[in-house]
Amino acid sequence: MTIDNPSSCRVVILGGGTAGWLAAAYLSRTLKMTGITLVESSEIGIIGVGEGTFPTIRSTLAGLGISEAEFLVRANATFKQGVLFEGWATGKDSYFHPFNMPIGGEDEALLPHWLADTSPQRPSWADAVTVQEQVIRAGRAPKRPKDPDFSGPMNYAYHFDAARFADYLREISVAAGVERIEGTVAAVKRKADGDIAALELADGRTVAGDFFLDCSGFRALLIGQTLGADFTSCAGSLFNDRALAMQVPYAQPGAPVRPYTLATAHEAGWTWDIGLTERRGIGYVYSSRHCSDDEAEATLRRYVGPRGDALSPRQLRFETGYRERQWIGNCVAVGLSAGFFEPLESTGIMLIEAALRIVGEFLGPNVLASGDRYARDAAARSFNRLMSARFERIVHFLKLHYCITRRTDTAYWRDNADPATIPEPLRDMLAQWRHRPPSRFDFVVDLETFLPPSYHYILYGMGFETTLGAARYPGAAQAREVFARVRAAHAGARGGLPDHRALLNHYHARTGIQPSKVSR
């Protein structure tokens, strides 16, 4: 969709980083808007520790009209096909949350028959209904060199260098006509009706606009400090409030690159471990209520090993939660200014994408330029309802990873399993799922970031027990046939896809850009 915003209708984005420059690129290149200005200060650093994405990023990037090969090289990106969780259920377990949907989308029909099989030979749920776990374990890429941009046999997303990605987005946005202004905001000027009129910079310049996107990060300078949108904390359910991050070089050039995120549970949190082309991004997300910063750093260093001895971790402090009013008047919060969750399941950039898509849809071809205040405010109310519901459902999904643990070795895990910390809607669903498999009626699909198959991968990857009792489910013979078909496809899927590192090397060779030119 293209939004008609004549030059008299000015859009101002406050803040760069991934949120600001993805917004600028989306508005200018996907929606073909003009009159866009982005204000950022080189004195204010970007957070940029989250380097994982969700499969929606592929359609977002395709809409920008860029080459997948160029993106991979410029952002120092690699492929991500899901998450491997280690130690979350018992401390010694592991399971995959792959991005592929169950074969034929038949997970609801297949699940009772998988649950009924209690034999020792029963494969994991993910392995029973997809080939992707086998592909991931074999270190394969999700696609082949001949496949079109942003598509392939496996569902996938990316890992990338957040700073390089923002730089690349800045370049293509400026080329599309976005004006970049370097400056620090000293004051925000408002109209008599409460709308934002302009940003007043420290050097005396004024940047006026008709519509503003607040991409100022945790500061939330516009939506929070200026417009007073309240912040809803989720700390009662999601305890983690700090992270330590390191950029760790590979032991050898050309080392294998994992095509997935590795999430390993520890005493008071978990580590992420992702592979880029020239380094690994490793971090420890933890609860300051359950361990000290020194204990957290010791945990991270034990995980990283000797390669981290000369490295100093970067610390990030955050509060998990979101603003229920993310659009007020002529201002929309995008990114950290709207809300933040720990990087479990890579929700950060995905929420930026969702906000931009909904804003683009709700503004429509005429609302922004028409000056119809009621229509604009009605769009804001609809947006806020949708985004608040989306954030709330993400809280439920993230808490699921913690609350069904069987770990009792530390207070952190015992507290996470305390029913008092589980949001009531999730607690109600878990009570029902003890007696029946999850149903499509448990989910309002339009509001879900994570669809029912993702819940199934987490529930049954962690060994959640559903007792079927005397219930009878039709289709046993068909289910056995599907399971056999998936097993038969495992070897072919592994053999038909290239090594992950080899495919990355192919893209680098195609562009002619050397990895050393894009690594930090």
Q: pLDDT class for 483, splitting at 50, 70, 90?
A: very high
- CB-side neighbour CA atoms (13 Å) of 145: 12
Window from 104-108, 121-125, 384-388, 461-465 with minimum mean pLDDT? 104-108
Contact status, residue 487 vs residue 114, Cβ threshold 8 Å: no
Q: Is 143 noted as a catalytic residue in this protein?
A: no
Beta bridge partners of 449: none
Report pLDDT for 107: 81
Report pLDDT for 220: 98
Q: pLDDT class for 365, splitting at 50, 70, 90?
A: low
Under DSSP, the state recorded for 41 is -
Name the token pair of 211.
């519509």
Q: Rounded to an integer, what distance in angstroms lies between the CA atom of residue 359 and that of residue 8?
A: 19
Q: Rounded to an integer, what distance in angstroms lies between the CA atom of residue 421 and that of residue 330?
A: 36
Whose CA is closest to 338, among 378, 397, 384? 384
**Active-site residue identified among 32, 80, 143, 517:** 80
Helices in 364-475 by DSSP H: which ranges?
Answer: 367-370, 373-403, 411-416, 424-433, 452-461
Q: Rounded to an integer, what distance in angstroms lies between the CA atom of residue 328 and that of residue 333?
A: 9
Share of the chain above pLDDT 90, in %: 85
Query: What SS3 state is found at 214?
Result: strand
How far is Cα of residue 291 from the mean position of the Cα atoms in its chain?
A: 26
Report pLDDT for 298: 98
Give me the helix-helix angle, 373-403 and 452-461, nearest 10°: 20
Question: Mind listing the pLDDT tens digit for each residue in 53-98?
Answer: 999 999 999 999 999 999 999 999 999 999 999 999 999 999 999 9
Judged against a pLDDT cut of 70, whether residue 25 lies above it is answered with yes
Q: Rounded to an integer, what distance in angstroms lies between the CA atom of residue 212 and that of residue 373?
A: 15
How far is Cα of residue 387 from the mean position of the Cα atoms in its chain?
A: 15
| Bigger pLDDT: 8 vs 486 | 486
| Bigger pLDDT: 493 vs 371 | 493
- 516 Cβ partners below 8 Å, 6+ apart? 278
Q: Rounded to an integer, what distance in angstroms lies between the CA atom of residue 118 and that of residue 134?
A: 22
Judged against a pLDDT cut of 80, whether residue 2 lies above it is answered with no
Question: Mind listing the pLDDT tens digit for each residue in 244-282?
Answer: 999 999 999 899 999 999 999 999 999 999 999 989 999
Mean pLDDT of the chain: 93
H or E segment at 20?
Answer: helix 17-25
Q: Rounded to an integer, what distance in angstroms lies between the CA atom of residue 338 and that of residue 369?
A: 25
Residue 246, phi-psi category: left (phi > 0), alpha (psi -120 to 50), beta (remainder):
beta
292 to 149, 299, 300, 305: CA distances (angstroms): 45, 11, 12, 20
Long-range pairs for 479-488: beta carbons < 8 A, 24 or more residues apart: 479/109, 479/110, 479/113, 479/114, 480/113, 482/103, 482/104, 482/106, 482/110, 482/129, 483/110, 483/113, 483/114, 483/128, 483/129, 485/103, 486/103, 486/127, 486/128, 486/129, 486/130, 486/131, 487/123
Count other C-beta atoms under 10 Å from residue 424's C-beta.
9
Mean pLDDT within 158-165:
95
Helices in 222-309 by DSSP H: which ranges?
Answer: 293-304
Q: Rounded to an integer, what distance in angstroms lies between the CA atom of residue 160 and that of residue 158?
A: 6
Judged against a pLDDT cut of 50, whether residue 5 lies above it is answered with no
Q: Rounded to an integer, what distance in angstroms lies between the CA atom of residue 510 and that of residue 489?
A: 31
Rounded to 10 degrees, the C-alpha dihedral 449/452/457/458 comes to 60
Question: Mind listing the pLDDT tens digit for each residue in 303-337?
Answer: 999 999 999 999 999 999 999 999 999 999 999 99
pTM: 0.94
Burial classification of residue 143, based on how many CB atoms lie within 10 Å of its CB (0-12 exposed, 13-18 middle, 19 or more buried): buried
Mean pLDDT within 161-169:
95
Question: Mind listing the pLDDT tens digit for each residue in 429-465?
Answer: 999 999 999 988 999 877 788 999 999 999 999 999 9
Report pLDDT for 29: 96
Phi then psi for residue 129, to 5 deg, are: -120, -5
Q: Rounded to an integer, what distance in angstroms lies between the CA atom of residue 422 and that of residue 209?
A: 43
Q: Rounded to an integer, what distance in angstroms lies between the CA atom of residue 382 and that of residue 423?
A: 24
Mean pLDDT within 400-410:
99
Share of the chain above pLDDT 70, in %: 95
- What end-to-end distance do the CA atoms of the chain give, in Å? 36
Q: pLDDT class for 364, splitting at 50, 70, 90?
A: low
Report pLDDT for 106: 74
Contact status, residue 498 vs residue 144, Cβ threshold 8 Å: yes
Judged against a pLDDT cut of 90, whether residue 520 lies above it is answered with no
Strand-strand pairing, 327-328 and 331-333 = antiparallel
Q: pLDDT class for 6, splitting at 50, 70, 90?
A: very low
Report pLDDT for 444: 84
Question: Mind listing the pLDDT tens digit for each residue in 30-51?
Answer: 999 999 999 999 877 666 555 8
Beta bridge partners of 84: 96, 262
H or E segment at 212?
Answer: strand 211-214
Phi then psi for residue 21, to 5 deg, are: -80, -25
